[in-house]
């Protein structure tokens, strides 16, 4: 295991000025704006904005606010504001704070765009934006090798998933005949019966599972903890990793209800939840422990999205909010501990309650919610989870078992992270003597923890404001909304809750012995993280190997490969399509055509047969000028002039280059080259004859002839096509000319430098 | 190449070739010619100069680095394409202005199409000279 290292230096006296304050204000304004939409959404309305983006493809900048997206938007902007306020003090005086604030704010805006998008393409754009901004944030401490590596790992895994996701979105848009998400959700039954349903589902799930770190793509998330703690609090608990969950929830009305959906989400969600909560207990770094509990939460949310019952939907909507509140609070608490003591190591920390009473209180309240004790919101969330698990159609006992185990482990981890560091007598020697964090850093944990407690006492407020609209957005029917109640009578969920407390407290009591046992047990399990490194090494080795094979550095081999490929392509085409009868029409042949053919043949023969390079170059020039003459004879003066000039330049350039090469070897007959040249010449001749034997399609020619003067005011059709009708093509070509010249220039300069 | 005759002749030939290259550029819309051919012709003039008097003198006579000319040409071509946005047309739609037109004569035609061709001229001119100068200096 990597020893946890404190990432923050001693508190700096200087603030960050406006760069620190502005993002907080922006996030707070956004939060206020979304909060003002609450009455409308609670009343069951849906708000929608739309602006045309690519009308020819039917893509529009469409945004939708319903219960689901508003819940996410409020979490993102609200936690975003608190995290930005926190960061401003946490990273006070950091030389690159402006950059940090920009990354974090961009991420927040991208995330908001993602959850509000009502068009598949808009959704994808914001999806990728969150991938890139989170890459920048994970790698923010870019001086550290580990930080760069982990950022790249997160980027690769999520971007690979993003590619699959894009393919899935395109298929989905194709199957539904629209990219508008609202329209797609309205035709769920048709989609489920569509032949493309399975490919769409697999591709979308690949995107969602990589983004939300479900087993077996989970390994990047704990590594992403290389990011500064506020980033972890924001991205890796409340928002980014929930993007995949959001997607599953968004697509729930259209795609859920099939066997594949049910089993994939239930099984992978349950496996992730149990596996991650076991691993969470194994961690001694508080931040890592929280990272694994986040995985557990994501697994649980996925599991419930696999179902369709009203209890499962209500459990999803409630636990989504519960988790975001307590997890962000606890991450921020860990940041406070780290800042105050200089370590996050569970075995060192102890007795902080006296020095940091407010932090300790916030931590305790958040942890009670996490552990699921009444009267906190976490208790209600847990009851609903059990109710949802028992309502699972196929295997309620199995699902409830998985939820029970992960909840009990969660309780134990909550104790390790948020109780033990503050209230056990004393730990090891601390790098720094602790003191209470400043108010900017306390605001986040205190407010978030307090919300968890308040909503626990007044669950009906939360139910009306957010949970009910979210459930309606998921299932479409208000009757699916189940009540959020602290006391629902003595029923099965309550019995399971009591079992959770007993098992959880036992696990907490024995967690150090368990940790040691887990350490030995997991030392034999192959690590996906190490596998990732091996995979990358293998990829690099493969690249090096194929480069060695393909890039020999010999020009003649490159040319051979190029021309052999052309030959193969042409031959394949001829074999596949067959040749029309080739009857060259020799009626109009005059002596001048014969003379030109003789000139060209003589030039080619001399080029190949000459013993001196200069003679070969001159003979090559003869071939070129002969070609130019052909163009003149067949009245294409523009092409002829260009050919002539290019030919002249080529002779000059080649003469400059070739004269420096060693003398030609005496015996230079290369059978393979000769065969290739002859074969290519013969094949091209055949193809040209075949082209000529077909009647020429004059539609384009007629159009250009007719339009050149009246529309483009030019009589030279060739030039008018180049600079007007097809100017974009020409622009591409001249761009290539510039790039080629600059690259050649750079290459020549480099070799000059190394030679001297 | 140290030849008095070539050097003496080059002085006149370079000027002629450059004037001719601009002539080729301007007539290109109606007669054989255009930016590509013009640029090649112009470059030939300076290549001749470089062969006769050396690349150092040729670079000095050119004043601006050839790669700068090429990139500037690309920029001009791009501007010519973007200009249509000002008039609300699609990318690279030609915009025309006829100066001093009358009933019978349509006047002096100025257009973004010509500007684009000037860009092509500069790209070809600059790119070819970049290559040739670099090769001559290298070898």
User: Under an 8 A CB cutoff, do A713 and B29 touch?
Assistant: yes
- Is A644 part of the contact surface with chain B (CB cutoff 8 Å)? no
The region that residue A664 occupies, defined by phi over 0 for left and psi between -120 and 50 for alpha, beta otherwise, is beta
Residues of A in contact with B109 (CB under 8 A): 713
User: Is there a domain that residue A561 lies in?
Assistant: no
**Which among A662, A684, A712 is the end of a domain?**
A662
How many structural domains compose chain A?
A: 2
CA-based nearest distance A636→chain B, Å: 9
The ipTM value here is 0.91
Give how far B6 is from chain A: nearest CA, Å.
Answer: 16
Residues of chain B with Cβ-Cβ distance to A659 below 8 Å are 139
- Supply the pLDDT for residue A107: 94
Q: Do B127 and A656 touch (CB under 8 A)?
A: no
Look up residue B38 and give its two tokens: 């013009």
How many Cα atoms sit within 13 Å of B114 on the Cβ side?
18
Burial of A187 by CB count in 10 Å (0-12 exposed, 13-18 middle, 19+ buried)? middle
SS (H, E, C) A224-285: HHHCCHHHHHHHHHHCCHHHHHHHHHHHHHHHCCCHHHHHHHHHHHHHHHHHHHHHHHHCCE
Q: Which tokens hold the place of A10?
A: 């001693």
Which site among A718, A737, A749 would you substitute to test the B interface, given the most B Cβ atoms closer than 10 Å to its Cβ? Answer: A737
Q: Are residues A501 and A614 in the same domain?
A: no
Give contacts of B74 with chain A, Cβ < 8 Å: 734-735, 738
Hey, are the CB atoms on B119 and A734 less than 8 Å from each other?
Answer: yes
Q: Are strands A47-54 and A59-65 parallel, antiparallel or unpaired?
A: antiparallel
Contacts 24+ apart (CB under 8 A), A526-531: A527/A219, A528/A216, A528/A218, A528/A219, A529/A219, A529/A223
Residue of chain B whose alpha carbon sits nearest to that of A716: B30
B99 close contact with A: CB closer than 8 A: no
Q: Touching check for B28 and chain A: CB below 8 Å?
A: yes
> How far is C-alpha A231 from the chain's CA centre?
17
Is A713's CB within 8 Å of B96's CB? yes
The pLDDT, as a whole number, for residue A545 is: 93
Closest alpha carbon to A512 in A203, A282, A199 = A282
Instruction: Enumerate the residues of chain A whose CB falls inside 8 A of the CB of residue B96.
Output: 713
CB A301 within 8 A of CB A316: yes
Assess contact for A94 and A100: CB atoms under 8 A: yes
Three-state secondary-structure class, residue A119: strand
Q: How far is B85 from chain A (nearest CA, A)?
A: 14
Q: Do A485 and A599 share a structural domain? A: no
Contact yes or no for B132 and A649 at CB 8 A: yes
Within a domain: residue A609?
Answer: yes
Determine whether the interchain pair A645/B37 forms a contact, defined as Cβ–Cβ distance below 8 Å: yes
Instruction: Report the alpha-carbon distance of residue B67 to residue A363 in Å, rounded.
Output: 63
Measured CA to CA, the distance from residue A421 to residue A424 in angstroms comes to 6
> Is A688 domain-assigned?
no
Q: In this predicted structure, what is the pLDDT of residue A2?
A: 43
- Structural domain contains residue A374: yes
Residue A499 CB burial class (10 angstroms; 0-12, 13-18, ≥19): middle
In a domain, A683, yes or no: no
Task: Compute the residue count for chain B.
Answer: 139
Q: Give the pLDDT of residue A657.
A: 74
Boundary-marking domain end, from A611, A635, A662: A662
Whether residue B44 lies within 8 A of chain A, CB to CB, comes out as yes
Cβ-in-10-Å burial (0-12, 13-18, 19+) of A651 comes to middle
CB count, 10 Å around CB of A717?
Answer: 17
Q: What is the 3-state secondary structure (H, E, C) of B28-61?
A: CCCCCCCHHHHHHHHHHHHHHHHHHHCHHHHHHH
In this structure, what are the phi and psi dihedrals at residue A50, rounded to the nearest 5 degrees?
-150, 140
Contact A716 B34 (CB under 8 A): yes
Highest mean pLDDT (candidates A52-66, A369-383, B24-38, B116-130) = B116-130
Q: Which residues contact A507 (CB under 8 A, 6 or more apart)?
A: A281, A408, A409, A411, A412, A514
A662 in contact with B, Cβ within 8 Å: no
Contact with chain B for residue A744, Cβ under 8 A: yes
- Of A509, A543, A566, the domain-final residue: A509
Q: Does A649 touch chain B (CB under 8 A)?
A: yes
Task: Please list the residues that pair with A52 across neighbouring strands.
Answer: A60
Subunit contact B120:A645, Cβ cutoff 8 A = no
Q: What are phi and psi of B100, to 5 degrees?
A: 60, 40
Contact: A724, B40; criterion CB under 8 Å: no
User: Is residue A340 a contact partner of residue A459, using CB atoms and an 8 Å limit?
Assistant: no
- Nearest by CB to residue A656, choosing from B113, B123, B136, is B136
- With CB atoms and an 8 Å threshold, state whether A652 touches B30: no
Question: In this complex, is the C-beta atom of A638 within 8 Å of any C-beta atom belonging to chain B?
Answer: yes
Can you list the positions of beta strands (E) in A447-586?
none
Is A642–B130 a contact, with Cβ atoms under 8 angstroms apart?
no
Rounded CA gap, B24 and B39, in Å? 9
Q: Cα–Cα distances in Å, from A561 out to A465, A516, A686, A744, B39?
A: 68, 60, 21, 21, 33
| Residue among A331, A306, A296, A104 nearest A213 (CA) | A296
- Distance (Å, whole) CA A257 – CA A269: 16
User: How far is the C-alpha of A610 from the C-alpha of A617, rounded, in Å?
Assistant: 9
Examine residue A375 and say whether the peptide bond preceding it is cis (omega within 30 degrees of 0). yes
Positions in chain A whose pLDDT score sits under 70: 1-15, 393-394, 659, 664-668, 750-756
Q: Strand B108-111 and strand A59-65: pairing?
A: unpaired
Please answer yes or no on whether B30 and A731 come within 8 Å at the CB atom: no
Mean pLDDT is lowest, of A401-405, A607-611, B74-78, B102-106, for B102-106
Note the pLDDT of residue A9.
45
B47 and A649 in contact by Cβ < 8 A?
yes
Q: Using 50, 70 and 90 to split pLDDT, how confident is the model at B1?
A: low
The answer on A502 and A609 residing in a single domain is no
For testing contact with chain B, the best of A651, A715, A738, A752 (most B CBs within 10 A):
A738
Cα A390 from Cα A404, distance rounded (Å): 11
Q: Which single residue is written with the structure tokens 């003191």? A: A435
Assess contact for A229 and A291: CB atoms under 8 A: no
Chain B residues within an 8 Å CB radius of A657: 135, 139
In a domain, residue A281? The reply is yes
Token representation of residue B71:
């990139």
At residue A15, the pLDDT reads: 66
**Same domain as A162, residue A285:** yes
The reported pLDDT for the residue numbered B71 is 94
- B59 contacts on A by Cβ (under 8 Å): none
The minimal CB distance from A653 to the residues B37, B96, B131 is found for B131
Phi, psi (rounded to 5 degrees) for A724: -125, -65
CB nearest to B32's CB, from A638, A653, A660: A638
Q: Decide if A728 and B91 are in contact by the 8 Å CB cutoff.
A: yes
Residue A449 domain flag: yes
Place of tokens 């422990």: A289
Instruction: Give Cα A136 to chain centroid, integer Å.
Output: 12
Q: In chain A, count of helices (H) and strands (E)?
A: 33, 2
Residue A666's pLDDT is what? 65
| CA of residue B122 relative to chain centroid, distance | 4
Q: Which domain holds residue A637?
A: 594-662
Chain B within 8 Å of A646 (Cβ-Cβ)?
A: yes
Name the one residue in this structure whose structure tokens are 């939409």.
A37
Instruction: Decide if B29 touches A, using CB distance below 8 A.
Output: yes
A690 occurs within a structural domain: no
What is the count of residue pairs from A and B with beta carbons less than 8 Å apart? Answer: 140
The DSSP string of A200-232 is HHHHHHHHHHHHTT-TTSTTHHHHGGGS-HHHH
Q: Express each pLDDT in A123-170 by its tens digit.
A: 999 999 999 999 999 999 888 888 999 999 999 999 999 999 999 999
Dist. CA A94–CA A336, nearest whole Å: 17
Cβ-defined contact of B34 to A719 (cutoff 8 Å): yes
Q: For residues A296 and A281, what is the distance between their CA atoms, to the nearest angstrom? A: 12
Rounded distance between C-alpha atoms, residue A610 and residue A608, angstroms: 6
Task: Report yes or no: A456 and A382 within 8 Å, Cβ to Cβ.
Answer: no
What 3-state DSSP class applies to A753?
A: helix
């Amino acid at each position: 295991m990597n020893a946890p290292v404190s990432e923050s230096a001693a508190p700096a006296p200087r603030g960050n000025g406006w760069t620190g304050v502005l993002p907080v204000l922006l996030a707070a304004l956004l939060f206020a704006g979304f909060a003002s939409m609450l009455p409308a959404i609670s009343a069951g309305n849906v708000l929608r904005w739309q602006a045309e983006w690519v009308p020819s493809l039917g893509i529009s900048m469409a945004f939708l606010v319903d219960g689901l997206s508003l819940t996410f938007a409020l979490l993102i902007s609200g936690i975003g504001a608190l995290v930005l306020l926190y960061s401003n003090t946490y990273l006070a005086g950091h030389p690159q704070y402006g950059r940090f604030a920009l990354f974090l704010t961009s991420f927040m805006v991208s995330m908001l765009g993602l959850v509000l998008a009502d068009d598949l393409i808009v959704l994808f754009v914001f999806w990728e934006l969150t991938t890139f901004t989170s890459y920048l944030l994970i790698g923010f401490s870019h001086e550290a090798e580990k930080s760069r590596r982990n950022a790249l790992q997160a980027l690769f895994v999520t971007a690979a998933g993003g590619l699959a996701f894009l393919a899935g979105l395109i298929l989905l848009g194709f199957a539904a005949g629209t990219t508008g998400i609202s329209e797609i959700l309205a035709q769920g039954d048709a989609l489920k019966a569509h032949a493309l349903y399975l490919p769409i589902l697999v591709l979308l799930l690949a995107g969602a599972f990589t983004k939300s770190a479900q087993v077996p793509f989970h390994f990047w998330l704990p590594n992403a903890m290389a990011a500064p703690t506020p980033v972890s609090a924001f991205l890796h608990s409340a928002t980014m990793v929930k993007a995949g969950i959001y997607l599953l929830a968004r697509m729930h009305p259209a795609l859920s209800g099939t066997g594949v959906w049910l089993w994939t989400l239930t099984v992978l969600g349950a496996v992730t939840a149990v596996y991650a909560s076991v691993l969470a207990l194994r961690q001694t770094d508080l931040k890592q422990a929280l990272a694994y509990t986040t995985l557990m939460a994501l697994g649980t949310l996925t599991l419930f999205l696999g179902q369709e019952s009203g209890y499962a939907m209500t459990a999803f909507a409630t636990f989504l909010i519960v988790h975001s509140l307590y997890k962000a609070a606890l991450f921020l608490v860990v940041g406070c501990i780290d800042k105050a003591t200089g370590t996050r190591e569970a075995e060192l920390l102890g007795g902080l309650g006296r020095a940091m009473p407010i932090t300790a209180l916030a931590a305790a309240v958040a942890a009670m919610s996490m552990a699921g004790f009444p009267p906190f919101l976490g208790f209600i969330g847990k009851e609903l989870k059990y109710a949802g698990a028992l309502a699972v159609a196929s295997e309620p006992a199995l699902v409830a078992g998985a939820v029970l185990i992960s909840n009990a482990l969660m309780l134990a981890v909550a104790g390790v992270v948020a109780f033990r560091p503050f209230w056990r007598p004393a730990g090891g020697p601390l790098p720094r003597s602790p003191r209470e964090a400043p108010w900017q850093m306390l605001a986040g944990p205190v407010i978030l923890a307090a919300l968890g407690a308040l909503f626990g006492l007044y669950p009906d407020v939360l139910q009306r404001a957010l949970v009910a609209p979210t459930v309606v957005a998921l299932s479409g029917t208000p009757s699916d909304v189940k009540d959020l109640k602290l006391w629902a009578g003595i029923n099965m969920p309550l019995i399971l809750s009591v079992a959770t407390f007993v098992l959880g407290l036992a696990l907490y009591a024995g967690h150090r012995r368990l940790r040691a046992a887990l350490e030995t047990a997991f030392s034999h399990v192959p690590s996906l993280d190490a596998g990732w490194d091996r995979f990358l090494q293998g990829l690099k080795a493969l690249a090096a190997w194929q480069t060695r094979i393909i890039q020999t550095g010999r020009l003649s081999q490159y040319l051979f490969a190029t021309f052999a490929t052309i030959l193969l392509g042409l031959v394949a085409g001829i074999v596949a399509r067959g040749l029309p009868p080739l009857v060259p029409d020799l009626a109009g042949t005059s002596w001048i055509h014969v003379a030109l053919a003789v000139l060209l043949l003589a030039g080619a023969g001399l080029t190949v047969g000459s013993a001196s390079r200069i003679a070969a170059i001159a003979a090559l020039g003869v071939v070129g000028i002969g070609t130019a003459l052909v163009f003149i004879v067949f009245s294409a003066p523009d092409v002829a002039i260009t050919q002539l000039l290019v030919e002249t330049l080529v002779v000059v350039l080649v003469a400059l280059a070739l004269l420096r090469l060693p003398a030609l070897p005496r015996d230079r007959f290369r059978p393979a080259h000769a065969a290739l040249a002859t074969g290519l010449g013969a094949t091209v001749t055949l193809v040209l004859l075949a082209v000529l034997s077909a009647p020429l399609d004059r539609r384009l020619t007629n159009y250009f002839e007719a339009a050149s003067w009246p529309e483009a005011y030019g009589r030279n059709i060739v030039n008018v096509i180049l600079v007007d009708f097809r100017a974009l093509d020409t622009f591409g070509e001249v761009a290539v000319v510039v790039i080629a010249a600059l690259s050649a220039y750079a290459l020549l300069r480099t070799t000059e430098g190394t030679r001297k | 190449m140290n030849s008095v005759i070539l050097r003496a002749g080059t002085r006149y030939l370079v000027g002629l070739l450059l004037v001719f290259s601009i002539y080729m550029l301007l007539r290109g819309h109606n007669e054989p010619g255009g930016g590509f051919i013009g640029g090649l012709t112009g470059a030939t003039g300076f290549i001749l100069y470089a062969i006769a008097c050396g690349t150092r003198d040729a670079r000095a006579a050119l004043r601006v680095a050839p790669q700068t000319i090429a990139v500037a040409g690309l920029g001009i071509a791009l501007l010519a394409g973007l200009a249509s946005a000002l008039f609300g047309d699609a990318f690279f739609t030609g915009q025309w202005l006829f100066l001093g037109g009358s009933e019978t004569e349509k006047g002096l035609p100025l257009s973004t199409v010509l500007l684009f061709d000037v860009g092509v001229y500069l790209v070809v001119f600059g790119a070819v000279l970049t290559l040739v100068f670099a090769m001559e200096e290298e070898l």
